[in-house]
Amino acid sequence: MRLTEEEKQAAVEVTQAILGRLDQGDKGRIIPVLQQVQSKLGYVPQIAMEEVAAHFGVPPVDIYGIITFYNQFRLTPPGKNQVKICMGTACHMRGAHIIQEAWERRLNIKVGETTEDREYSLERVACVGCCTMAPVVVINEEVHGKITPTRVDGLLFSHQLDKRKMKEGDANNG
């Protein structure tokens, strides 16, 4: 993925602000810094990795190694809404793969992809700790339990309605 000059600039600024005056020898801060970059930008761009590497005085390839080792990190920007399907034991035994396929069909993307309009991305997560509500889907930070393929449609529908309402609200206020 190629970033525009402005995007690059923004990524560098965000990363530098996080790095601030952190002790350069404190390697224990590397992962927390990368987590913060991701929470600000939604992913960790190459240029941010280089920034972090320079700050802590380690080769960029080490940072890349960390990013690819841990499932949490993304190398590409996610959709505006992140749909995460729980793939833990309880959810699996209650048909999580059927739910996954339902989302894939409805959004017309595969797990790990983002829709063309960048509205939705689809991911799998390990148990989110609501096994008693299996199968579970997390949309952004909100947990939805007891999902069926038909509820997938419902969730998507209500989500789009919410967004319309919000837009209308904006228009009314503005």
Where do contacts with ligand FES occur on this chain (CB under 6 A)? 86, 88-91, 127-131, 134, 136
36-44 long-range contacts (CB < 8 A, ≥24 apart) are: 38/72, 38/73, 38/74, 40/14, 41/11, 41/14, 41/77, 42/74, 42/77, 42/78, 43/73, 43/74, 43/75, 43/76, 43/77, 43/78, 44/73, 44/74, 44/75
Stretch that binds another protein, among 12-20, 64-72, 108-116, 159-167 (CB under 8 A): 64-72
Residue pair 43/74 in contact by the 8 Å Cβ criterion: yes
Which residue's beta carbon is nearest to the bound ligand FES? 88
**By CB under 8 A, residue 131 contacts another protein:** yes
- Give the nearest distance from C-beta 55 to another protein in angstroms: 12
- Give the nearest distance from C-beta 130 to ligand FES in angstroms: 4
> Which residues are near another protein by CB under 8 A?
27-32, 35, 56, 65-66, 69-73, 87-90, 92-95, 97-98, 101-102, 105-106, 125-134, 136, 141, 143-145, 148-150
